[in-house]
Structure 1
Amino acid sequence: MSNASRVVVVTGGTRGIGLGLAREFLARGCQVVICGRSEDAVQKALAELGDGVRTSGLAADVSDRDAVQRLWDHAVAAFGRVDVWVNNAGLSTSRGDLHTIGASEVEAVFAVNVVGVVNGCAVASQGMAGQPGGGWIWNMEGFGSRGEHQDGMAVYGSSKRAVQYLTQALVRQTKGSQVKVGFLSPGIVATELLVGDYAEDPAGFDKVKKIFNILGDRVETVTPWLADRVLSADKHGVRVAWLTRGKAARRFMTAGFTKRDIFGEAD
């Protein structure tokens, strides 16, 4: 199937990595549907994408299964089918010891990062199983997905660890079917989500900023690479990872010779 005929849904597509992916899929000829938490955010993102013919969007709370179903139905009504569904929507808490993070904040993170991905997988897998050619579901990894640990990251890390298990389970469930599943790992990317983790700890951000500048990248650097590999994937259960161990090691080896600032103004 050519990219020009592929329909891609990106949840959390109004900013950050989600908006970056939407832009790159659009640039590769796809038809793109995004969702965000408010109609204003969706309309602002659609205006930034700038193509009213091949883009559409809907305000949707991914923690609500019915809202996710409406997103699927909206995409099918607009473009006829869904070929790629990217569960990108995510939240984080401010960094801190577990007892300092309020219950409502914890619930919000798990509602989006875990329940939202469950809903996306359930709706998309059912819809794709019922359409000719099936389709691809991609779940976004994050810190904690593969068992990483760091102080202050208990809630977010736990939610992403749950997504890892969920994705593995879906890979097994859909084996042999026309529904394909993949893991999408963007690495460390300078987004509002990353900076927001340190909203209550600017001193902590200053301490880790050097590491982020070694290992991290901008949205516009990472998302073209991810989009290319999502669209060319052919192996069920594949993991598409930007920041590999080898790349991280090379970054550290050359850090003394390379000045990087992923949080500054783009050139």
Structure 2
Amino acid sequence: MTKNVVITGSTKGIGRAMAREFHRRGHNVVVSGRDGEALRSLVAELDAAGGGTVVGHEVDVTDPESLEALWAGAADKLGSVDVWVNNAGVAHTTHSIVETSADSVRTMVQTNMLGTVFGSQTAVRGMTAQGQGQLFNVLGGGSDGKLRPNMGVYGATKRGLDMFTRALAKEVEGTGVRVGQIRPGILITDGWLREAAAAPEQVAQQRRTLNILVDHVDEVAPELVARMLGSTKNGDEIAWLTSGRLAMRFMNPGYAKKNDKLARYGL
């Protein structure tokens, strides 16, 4: 069955990769972001590749009215929204908590926390009205409660979203709406590369470990999309970098050398 899918923050990174994968599988996709030019470029790329219908919509996830307009536009173009993915997020992870600028703190809290909360409210209201739908919130480093250097603020937003998503899943229990979360692991995105460029010595020192931990978005997206499409459980938790997968990598002495993922980016 063809699904109508909305993904926030889908002009870059894992959001873009998931949009490509949904579209490749024949599903209709609404891609969104703040950059109109990037949206137009992505829509043209997906249209040229063939697949489902693709629609671009500019949105500011920190603005509830902008998100309501995204839902309305998607519903108008496609008739309904079957899957909504709150993916938009920002990470600044090269400074300690006290050294993180006020602007960086504000951006992470507004985009990661408020954007996901407002997006979830919009999606659940719309899905409740239409009688069905699946909402997935993309979490990230810190959502598991583990402390990592220079990720205090970012991790706090993601840890909060874990609790928020679990609470929302309980609230929709027994309705036609299902809520789940996605833990995509540590992905090499534009944001990750920006952070790496700001701390080259740290990357050099941790190169072997990073090659074990990180993944390319185009390698991760197919599994995440397949599991979202196959999800039937409210409260579902979809994780890429599971403890089992991580253990297998660390136990394989040649994994980092055979999988030099950083080399693709000149690192």
Shorter-chain TM-score tier: over 0.9
Verify: 1:119 aligned to 2:118, yes or no: yes
Counterpart contact for 1:124–1:137, Cα < 8 Å: yes
For 2:151 and 2:196, the matched residues in 1 are separated by 11
2:148 to 147, 150, 158: 150
Residue pairs, 1:25-174, within 5 angstroms: 25-50=22-47, 54-132=53-131, 134-174=132-172
For 2:263 and 2:85, the matched residues in 1 are separated by 28
The percent of aligned pairs where both chains have the same amino acid is: 38
Residue pairs, 1:190-209, within 5 angstroms: 190-209=188-207
Alpha-carbon displacement from aligned partner over 1:80-138 (angstroms, at most 9, x marks no partner): 01000000001011411122211111001111100000011000000000003x10000
Letter in 2 for 1:105: S
Which runs of 5 or more residues in structure 1 are unaligned? none
Letter in 2 for 1:29: G
Letter in 2 for 1:69: E
Q: Secondary structure at the match of 1:50?
A: helix
Alpha-carbon displacement from aligned partner over 1:22-41 (angstroms, at most 9, x marks no partner): 00001111100011112112
Verify: 1:214 aligned to 2:207, yes or no: no
Counterpart contact for 1:214–1:255, Cα < 8 Å: no
Letter in 1 for 2:55: S
Residue pairs, 1:222-241, within 5 angstroms: 222-241=220-239
- Counterpart position of 1:184: 182
- 37-46 or 55-64, which deviates more: 37-46
- Counterpart position of 1:249: 247
**Post-superposition offset of 1:194:** 1.8
Q: Secondary structure at the match of 1:99?
A: coil
Letter in 2 for 1:200: A
Counterpart contact for 1:94–1:199, Cα < 8 Å: no
Letter in 1 for 2:20: R
- Counterpart position of 2:259: 260
TM-score (norm 2): 0.94
**Post-superposition offset of 1:150:** 1.1
Counterpart contact for 2:10–2:16, Cα < 8 Å: yes
For 1:239 and 1:225, the matched residues in 2 are separated by 13
Letter in 1 for 2:196: Y
For 2:130 and 2:149, the matched residues in 1 are separated by 45
Alpha-carbon displacement from aligned partner over 1:201-260 (angstroms, at most 9, x marks no partner): 111122233222112221111000000010010011011111110110000111325511
Residue pairs, 1:5-44, within 5 angstroms: 6-44=3-41
Say what the alpha-carbon RMSD is for the aligned residues: 1.5
Which runs of 5 or more residues in structure 2 are unaligned? none
Higher helix share: 2
For 2:181 and 2:79, the matched residues in 1 are separated by 25
For 1:263 and 1:138, the matched residues in 2 are separated by 29
Counterpart contact for 2:93–2:154, Cα < 8 Å: no
Q: What number of residue pairs does the alignment pair up?
A: 262
